[in-house]
Amino acid sequence: MPTTYLTPGIYVEEVPSASKPIEGVSTSVAAFVGLAPGGPVNSATRISNWSQFARIYRDPNRPDGEDVPFMDGAYLAHSVYGFFNNGGTLAYVVRIGDDNGGAPKARASLPAAGDAAIEAFSVVAREDAQPVSIEITEEPPAGEGAEPTYAVKIAPASGPPEEFSGLTAKRGRGGLATKLNAQSKLITVEETESSLPEAQRVPVAGVYPLSSPSIERRKVKPAHFEGDVSRRRGLGGLAAVDEVTMVLMPDLMALAADNGNESQIRDLQGKLIAHCEATKDRMAILDPPPDLLPDEVLDWRMNTAGYDSKFATLYYPWIEVGNPLDDGKPLLVPPSGHMAGIWCRTDSTRGVHKAPANEVVLGVTASHSRSCTPSRER
């Protein structure tokens, strides 16, 4: 709307320039595709810190309270840790698995109060719902001799939690299984042990993460990584996530270690590059095969793999970190996750105009080429 001048005088009016400077675009949101011992399968889950990742993708076989997301022979957790440790602030994680045509439903086993070795209830996620955990707490007694009641809180991966109170161990309208099955939109509950007395059939109070069953690492196939765009699986599940600016597949190296076939690495990394070229708004951060000398990496990139794209970058060499599954002993891991964190750190501290070079890589004890062989049996 033009300015209206009501009285005579001198006025100063700023007119914006016809040409605006080109603004840099931040590269601060990474997407990881790989293997984890627990957590939702083929679902792009938004992660804002390491603690959240450890809680969602923890090993369900660990005792309650131990959030250990590391998996023997897999590199996803190491890469995500390196990402946040080096300045990363936001990531999406896609845990791949053998879904047999449909994503396996997350589940949790609730031990009985009378005998923790007995499963009192089995909690299963409803269709298209991936709750993170179910928390059971005992409520204060309503009065002397009153029947004990329990509160249940179901935390989803996103959105508000569901909360229920006044639940009992008895069957009927106020029973834990009956009420949750009738009112919860996230889970169903199956009473698996009916022979115990009602007082002992109540599950032990605590937090129980829901986890989908995973395939064995040695049974992973290239199709699990590639996924499907229409069904939102694997790499294809990231096509609809607009926030992503970097895409990583550190566990391609685990696939090559098990199958001894580097052609699968080249094929999947080529599809990763094609994914980034098609979206035109993200970069592929690639890892080289392990145990190579610098000139061998150059030959592999130029001649063997033949990568040539403005939407991809390759980092060398592999880096050494402490292995939490083996008393902190040295373990070689792909460098992509740590470098993605440095990209974020550089963007936030210096700006997107600064190349992420000559930066300190945090959480690394050494870097190695052929002098060490990356193997978990070291």
Q: What is the number of other CB atoms lying within 10 angstroms of the CB of residue 116?
A: 11
CATH fold of the domain at 29-100+215-368: Rossmann fold (3.40.50)
The pLDDT assigned to 378 comes to 27
The pLDDT assigned to 196 comes to 64
Q: What is the number of other CB atoms lying within 10 angstroms of the CB of residue 24?
A: 11
Q: Which residues pair with 269 in a beta bridge?
A: none
Tokens standing for 221? 């196939």
Contacts of 348 (CB under 8 A, 6+ apart): 28, 87, 89
Name the amino acid, one letter, at 114: G
Q: Which residues of the chain have pLDDT under 70?
A: 1-3, 17-27, 61, 63-65, 98-105, 114, 116-117, 127-131, 145, 193-200, 212-219, 257-260, 367-378
The DSSP result for 98-125, as a single string, is --TTSPPPPEEEEEBSS-TTSEEEEEEE
Q: How far apart are CA 236 and CA 116, in angstroms?
A: 41
Q: How far apart are CA 121 and CA 187, in angstroms?
A: 12
- pTM greater than 0.85: no
- What's the pLDDT tens digit per position in 140-192? 877 776 777 888 998 887 778 899 988 887 777 778 888 888 888 888 887 77
The pLDDT assigned to 362 comes to 93
* Residue 276: strand, helix, or coil: helix
Q: How far apart are CA 96 and CA 41, in angstroms?
A: 6
* Inter-helix orientation angle 252-259/262-279, to 10°: 160
Q: Are 369 and 298 in contact (CB under 8 A)?
A: no
User: What is the side-by-side strand order in the sheet with 206-209?
Assistant: 162-167, 150-156, 131-138, 206-209
The pLDDT assigned to 1 comes to 47
Instruction: Tell me the pLDDT of the chain averaged across its residues.
Output: 82
Q: Are 133 and 155 in contact (CB under 8 A)?
A: yes
- How far, in Å, are 167, 206, 239 from residue 182 at the CA level? 13, 22, 35
The pLDDT assigned to 63 comes to 64
* Residue 337: strand, helix, or coil: helix
- How far, in Å, are 130, 219, 330 from residue 333 at the CA level? 30, 20, 10
Q: Are 134 and 154 in contact (CB under 8 A)?
A: yes
Q: DSSP character for 238? A: G
Cis amide leading into 141 (omega within 30): no
The pLDDT assigned to 215 comes to 56
Name the amino acid, one letter, at 305: A
* Residue 57: strand, helix, or coil: coil
